[in-house]
Amino acid sequence: MIKFQDISKKYGEKEVLKQISSSIPKGKITSLIGPNGAGKSTLLSIISRLLKQDEGNVTLMDRDISSIKNNEIAKQLSILKQSNNLDLKLTVKDLVSFGRFPYSKGRLTEADWEQVNRALDFSELKELENDYLDELSGGQRQRAFLSMIIAQDTEYVLLDEPLNNLDMKHSVKVMKTLRRLVDELGKTVIIVIHEINFAAQYSDHILAMKDGKIKYNEATNDVIECEKLKDIFGIEFDIIEKENKKICNYFNL
């Protein structure tokens, strides 16, 4: 279980997170939503020890995350940010095999390779495994990074805007893969996401932020309501319900 308490973070004079506390439910997809500058990515970075908070503490399975060794955390929690170097000429398989680094330190065993192949199969990248990353499309590349995270085989999977710059087909593919990660492998997924409809369709839980504070922290269908969304994003929403899934129209109201 990931818990965080009284987290504050300032960038210079600007307070990005204001004493926020909560926990992330296990075995679910939790979407972090909110307008630009709400502090979603900062919160994700702090939870995943990439960024140091000014105040407060994060606990991973009841242990303070700052007291756990980096390599130990890497076996429990994985984080994928957008800022990866994309110029490197690595094959998809090379990249995915790096996911086993916390376990094997680069000397992959038979079992590690099995895990790598399973991850490639899981993300349907088997036929691209010998292609270089810089020759892939943005969507394929994003799936390759996701595949690496799957090979890392961690209880918690954190993703910062995984759908950034992807077309619809690849966005759906990525979200379906995440769904299967939770439903079939029992992982816990936390994503920062901008498109509200992807959050509404695929996530179990929503943590909505605004101005460095948590506004709503509830099951998906309870957050996807006209009044609440208007409160978060400051624009009008029209919600259509179909087969117990909600779709938001906010495009031209």
Partner 1 sequence: MKENRKQQITYIILVSSILLLSLISLFTGVKEIAFSDILDMSDDQLLVFSISRFPRTAALILTGAGLSIAGFIMQQLTQNKFVSPTTAGSLEAAKLGILFSLLLIPTASTTNKMFFALLFTFAASLLFMLMVRRIRFRSTVFVPLIGIMFGGILNSIATFFAYKNNFLQNIQGWLMGDFSSVLQGQYETIYFILPVVIISYLYADQFTIAGMGESFAKNLGLSYLAIVNLGLFAVSLTVSVTIVTVGAIPFLGLIVPNIVSLTFGDNLRKTLPYTALIGAIFLLICDILGRILIFPFEIPIGLMVGIIGGILFFLLILKRNK
Could you list the residues that contact partner 1 (CB under 8 A)? Answer: 45, 48-50, 69-75, 78-81, 83-85, 87-91, 94, 98-99, 101-102, 105-106, 132, 152
For partner 1, the closer CB: 79 or 248: 79
Residue 119 or 248: the one with the smaller Cβ distance to partner 1 is: 119
* Residue 103 beta carbon to partner 1: minimum distance, rounded to whole angstroms: 9
Helix extents (H) in 6-57: 40-47
| Gyration radius of the chain over CA positions | 18
Q: Among 87, 93, 100, which Cα is nearest to 130's?
A: 93
The conformational region for residue 239 under phi > 0 = left, psi -120 to 50 = alpha, else beta, is: beta
Closest of 41, 38, 33 to residue 159, by C-alpha: 41
Overall size of the chain counted in residues: 253
Least separation in angstroms between residue 179's CB and partner 1 is: 22
Q: How far is the CB of 121 from partner 1 (least distance, A)?
A: 20
Residue closer to partner 1, measured from CB, 154 or 217? 154
CB closer to partner 1 out of 62 and 87: 87
CA 250/CA 227 separation, integer angstroms: 13
Q: What is the DSSP letter of 251?
A: S
Closest to partner 1 by CB, 156 vs 202, is 156
Q: Classify 161 in phi/psi space as left (phi over 0), alpha (psi -120 to 50) or beta.
A: left
* Contact (CB, 8 A) for 31 and 206: yes
CB 144 within 8 A of CB 119: no
Name the minimum Å distance from CB 78 to partner 1: 6
Nearest to 137 by CA among 114, 112, 161, 169: 169
CB-wise, 91 or 221, nearer to partner 1? 91
What is the smallest separation between the CB atom of 9 and partner 1, expressed in angstroms?
16
